[in-house]
Structure 1
Amino acid sequence: MTSHRSLIYRTTALVPGCPPELVSVALDYTDAAPYEVGLTLYRDSHQTQMFMFNREFLADGLHTEAGQGEVMVRPHNSMTSLVTIRIRPADAYPFEIDLDRETVTDFVEMALMLVPVGQEPLPDFDAELAALLDGGQ
């Protein structure tokens, strides 16, 4: 049976050169994809963008800069109660969102309780290869 957890958080998105904008952020985790966290941005109750990144980046980003590619996570530069997530989408300007550190810590702990590190199931490589060879069907 698959377990899924979500956290919705309202915060401000900071885009360099633009005024701050209030957005809602949803963090999602499911044991069906135990290595990844989903981050969805909502503006005016409409989903605008979704990013998937490694669960360990979120956990490590509570203490030090972590991540690669589109998503980087790090402690806030001056406020210890915040965690900054920097998003660099390929088709838009980079921006940052700040989330409450305690809330993110609780979310990471919940994800690690659902699927502890080292307990992640191995992918079914034969099924993945078959799907690729079958044109992704």
Structure 2
Amino acid sequence: MNQSLTLWAADRPDYPLAAVLSYSAADPYAVRLAFLQGRRETAVYGFARELLAAGLTDPAGQGDVMVGPHECEAYLVLTLRPQDSYPFALYVERDRIADFVEQTYRQVPHGRERVNVDAWIERILTEVA
């Protein structure tokens, strides 16, 4: 399941960024945020679905990804900390994220997440090789 997004840099709100938020039942605990330039992914962040859900109402997260309410209720603040770089804050429409989170819970309800550990290990080993 994919959700296209427009994000705005806090320091450059006049410069929108295109991104896609993804979720797969094969990895039910995680979401993936990919920034796009044309059709090419330029940066990808993976983080917990629960982090995104918690950030709808309260500040959540530590480290590479943080999500929380904006002073304007229509937006969330998404703060990313790239490796070897400074953190940057982005604004995203709260309703788009809330709809996405709701869809993920319809696909795999909270508490019903199951992971095929053998397939997961095989995928990791294949990517490393």
TM-score bracket for this pair, using the shorter chain length: 0.7 to 0.9
- Runs (5+) with no aligned partner, structure 2: none
Whether the 8 Å contact between 2:28 and 2:115 is mirrored in structure 1 is no
Offset from partner CA, 1:90-123 (integer Å, 9 cap, x none) = 1322111111111111000000000001111144
Shift of 1:125: 5.9
- How many residues end up aligned between the 2 structures? 127
Equivalent in the alignment of 1:7: 3
Shift of 1:12: 1.4
1:87 aligns to 2:80 (yes or no) = yes
1:57 aligns to 2:51 (yes or no) = yes
Quote the Cα distance in structure 1 between the aligned partners of 2:47 and 2:7.
Answer: 19
Equivalent in the alignment of 1:22: 16
CA gap of 1:108–1:125, structure 2 versus 1, over 3 A, is same
Quote the Cα distance in structure 2 between the aligned partners of 1:66 and 1:89.
Answer: 17
Quote the Cα distance in structure 2 between the aligned partners of 1:127 and 1:82.
Answer: 34
- Give RMSD over aligned pairs: 2.5
- Counterpart mapping for 1:110-125 below 5 A: 110-124=103-117
- Runs (5+) with no aligned partner, structure 1: none
Equivalent in the alignment of 1:71: 65
The amino acid of 2:97's aligned partner reads V
Whether the 8 Å contact between 2:26 and 2:115 is mirrored in structure 1 is no
Equivalent in the alignment of 1:103: 96
TM-score normalized with structure 2 length: 0.85
Q: Which moved more, 1:29-38 or 1:116-125?
A: 116-125
Quote the Cα distance in structure 2 between the aligned partners of 1:71 and 1:33.
Answer: 18
SS of residue in 2 equivalent to 1:67? coil
TM-score normalized with structure 1 length: 0.80
Q: Which has the larger radius of gyration?
A: 1
